[in-house]
């Protein structure tokens, strides 16, 4: 299994600002993903973070709003840009290896006021 850490664990931000969330894995992994979990809801995949190339975004999510970087096989960042209260959610990083079993980080709880 992989051990995943995320920073920050939580934050309260003002609308119109941006927040960058970091995801660090203790070993090299092939696949990294970013999910959003809105209050009381299940998880929705935002994008697949590709090492050395642009992320692959799911329908309804765009690079200008959620820019993602993945400079190497153990690290990725997700930025939530120009935030509004509707962006208040838990943002989760996950990784997958052989067999595609997914492991999740502890999440970042974002509140936008």
Residues that bind another protein (CB under 8 A): 1, 31, 33, 41-45, 48, 58, 92, 94, 96, 99-107, 109
CA distance 15 to 78: 17
Q: Report the nearest approach of another protein to the CB of residue 82 (Å).
A: 26
CA distance 10 to 110: 6
Q: Report the nearest approach of another protein to the CB of residue 102 (Å).
A: 6
Listed residue (77, 33, 69) closest to 51, CA to CA: 69
Q: Report the nearest approach of another protein to the CB of residue 107 (Å).
A: 5
Closest CB to another protein among residues 1, 14: 1
Closest CB to another protein among residues 65, 109: 109
Q: Report the nearest approach of another protein to the CB of residue 71 (Å).
A: 21
Closest CB to another protein among residues 75, 103: 103
> For residues 33 and 57, is the Cβ–Cβ distance under 8 A?
no
> For residues 33 and 48, is the Cβ–Cβ distance under 8 A?
yes
> For residues 76 and 49, is the Cβ–Cβ distance under 8 A?
yes
Closest CB to another protein among residues 17, 28: 28
């Amino acid at each position: 299994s992989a051990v995943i850490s995320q920073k920050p664990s939580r934050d309260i931000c003002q609308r119109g600002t941006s927040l960058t969330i970091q995801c660090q894995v203790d070993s090299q992994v092939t696949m990294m993903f970013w999910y959003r979990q809105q209050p009381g809801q299940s998880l929705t995949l935002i994008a697949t973070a590709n090492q050395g190339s642009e992320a692959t975004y799911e329908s309804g999510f765009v690079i200008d709003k959620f820019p993602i970087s993945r400079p190497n096989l153990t690290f990725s960042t997700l930025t939530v840009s120009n935030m509004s209260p509707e962006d208040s959610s838990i943002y989760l990083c996950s990784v997958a290896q052989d067999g595609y079993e997914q492991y999740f980080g502890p999440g970042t709880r974002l509140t936008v006021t």
